[in-house]
Each structure stands twice: as structure tokens, then as C-alpha cells.
Structure 1
Amino acid sequence: MVSLTKLSSATVLSFTVIITLIGCFVLSANAIRCHQCNSHLDEDCNSLRLTVPRGVRDDQYLDDCQVPDDATRVFCRKTVTNIIVNSEKRIVRSCGWRAEDLRGRNDTCMTADNEGFFEEICACFTDGCNSAPSSMGVQTNVLMAFGLSILMIISSAVRSG
């Protein structure tokens, strides 16, 4: 067995980066967290803004998805229903697992014009993506992995030069 003192710093650095990347991508692949609420029952669900005193801003409805064993692809869903009769707008945020409804597309929306109401159903595949629109479209763990990789490369360059 080779001791760590005999390995070059580049080899140790390579192992560290590989293990970190595997941890970032594999460990988070099995679960997804989605906002789960109904604006008809929870006023805060409409925009995920704080309207309840001393509530937790934006993450108050974020929770792990509980899905059946036969689920093939878990995702977050946001359904916006405009009821024409009374001009009411309802938003339901939830987990989904019926991927055949998505027709193989990622981060997609579908619309339905039914008698008396209009519905838009959107699906996405990253934690908390069924929230209000966000300017950050990249998963946090991807950003962490990228940042750590850059830091390791800079550290290696400083040590060798």
C-alpha cells in the first residue's frame, strides 16, 4: 500500500477533486425538495412572500418530496389556475412523478384551456425550482463543485510555482 507522503501533491489534488465532484452529484441525486402549498389555503403560497408574522421567508413550504416506490422521475410542479367566473387565481406548488405527462422535456410548461378556467402547469427538476421566478437558474451544488475545482487548481498552481 502506498502512503500519502509518497504521492505527489498533484495526485492528491486529483483524488480530492474527483471525490468532491462525486459527492456533489451522486449524493444529491436521490431526493428533491419542492415547495408544497396551495394559495387557496395558504396566502403566502401565492408569491412565497412573507405575510405571516415571524414566518420563515420563501423556504416555509420547501420540503422533501414523498413519492411512491414506482416513481420513475421525481420533479417539482407549479400549477397556476385562473378561474374565469370569479376572476380568481390559484397557485398550487407540489411534487410530481408522472413523467409521461412531460413528454420527455425538461423544465417545461403546458397550458390547458378548460371550460371556466385556464391552467398552466410547469415542471422543473432542481431543488425549490417551483418557487417564484429566480435569477439563479443553476443548481447550488454545481456552483459549489465548480468553485471548489477552481480553488483546487489555483492551490496546485501556487504550490508548484
Structure 2
Amino acid sequence: MYCSKLFCVIVVLLGYFSVATVDAINCYQCNSHLDPECADLRAHPPHKVAGFHQPCDDTDAEGNPAFCRTMTYKFKFLKKTDLDASRVVRTCGYRRSMKECYIVDNDHHMESVCQCFEDGCNTAQNLSIFSIISTLVIASTLHFIF
């Protein structure tokens, strides 16, 4: 009898400790239109951007797990000197892309989207990739026009 109670306790404890607990991922969540520091988090002291580092919900309504996302928008019809010619939005995401980064060319803006899967990983911008692809798109468009 004693052995079976001990066995039950061990099974319950093993079951309890073998269940992995998942903590929410923490992502930077901000919009450079509202908070200029969001455009380049690494250019500012940690205490200025610490408030942007917030937990995401574990999953969305469909059960998709959270990850971090950075979206960079370049508006086509604004001058580069305009404050809103570009915008950076850092947020939690729940629908993963097949690619780590991708670019979407919409009517009025180009959108660069990157996703990552570790706490606070959405600090960096992939502007060099964005610039290269933007240049290629413009060059190929000009090639077909002329």
C-alpha cells in the first residue's frame, strides 16, 4: 500500500515538472509616428526605450503563438525630408510568414516586414536589405519604361 502511494506521488510530481510552462515573449511595441525613438531604438539610451519592451499575449484567438515583428514603411509620394516619409512599427505578431523578412510594394508605400522569435529581438532594422531591394525595383521599373 505504501509503495503504491509513493508511486502515485512520484508520477504526479513527474507529470507536474515535465509540463513545460510557456512565458509570453516580450517584444518592443511602438510606432515612430507617435514615438520618434521607435525609429532607431539602438540610437537611444536603454532607459528611454525600456517602456517599449512589453509582453505579448501568449497566443491569438486562433491559438497562434506570439513572435516579434518590425515593419518599416516608406511612403512613395512624400519627400525624404518630410517627417512622415518613413515609419517604423514594432509589435507582436501571430501569423508567421514563410520568410524571415519580406517586402510588399503597395500603391502608396513600400513595406519591409521582419519577424523574429526571441525576447526583444525586434530592435534592429533591415534598412540595408530594404534599400537594396527598393533600388532594384526602381531600376527594373525604369528599365521597362525606357
Q: Scaled by the length of structure 1, what TM-score is found?
A: 0.55
TM score, norm. by length of structure 2? 0.60
Percent sequence identity over aligned pairs: 34
CA distance in 2, matches of 1:68, 1:74: 7
Alignment: residue pair count: 101
1:107-126 alignment, distance < 5 Å: 108-126=100-118
Structure 1 counterpart of 2:86, one-letter code:
K
Q: Secondary structure at 2:123's aligned position in 1?
A: coil
TM superposition outliers: structure 1 runs of 4+ over 2 Å:
57-60, 66-71
The answer to whether the Cα contact below 8 Å between 1:34 and 1:76 also exists between their aligned partners in 2 is: yes
Asked if the contact 2:102–2:112 (Cα under 8 Å) also holds between the matched residues in 1, the reply is: yes
Alignment partner, residue 88 of structure 2: 91
Give yes or no for contact 1:76–1:128 (8 Å, CA) kept in 2: yes
What secondary structure, in the 3-state scheme, does the structure 2 residue paired with 1:76 have? strand
Paired residue for 1:127?
119
SS at match of 2:37: helix
1:117/1:69 CA distance change after superposition, 3 Å: closer
Provide structure 1 residue ranges, at least 5 long, that are not aligned to the other structure.
Answer: 1-21, 134-161
Pick aligned residue for 1:32 from 25, 29, 32:
25
Question: What's the offset of the Cα at 1:61?
Answer: 0.4
State the Cα distance separating 1:72 from its structure 2 match.
1.8
Alignment map for 1:2-81 (pairs within 5 Å): 26-27=20-21, 29-48=22-41, 49-50=43-44, 56-66=47-57, 67-81=59-73
Distance 1:71 1:42 in 2: 30
Cα deviation for residue 75 of structure 1 reads: 0.5
Higher helix share: 2
Q: 1:114 to 1:31 in 2, by over 3 A?
A: same
How far is 1:117 from its partner?
Answer: 1.0
Unpaired runs of at least 5, structure 2: 1-16, 126-146
**Residues 81, 118 of structure 1: 8 Å contact kept:** yes
Distance 1:44 1:35 in 2: 11
Partners of 1:71 and 1:98 within 8 A in 2:
no
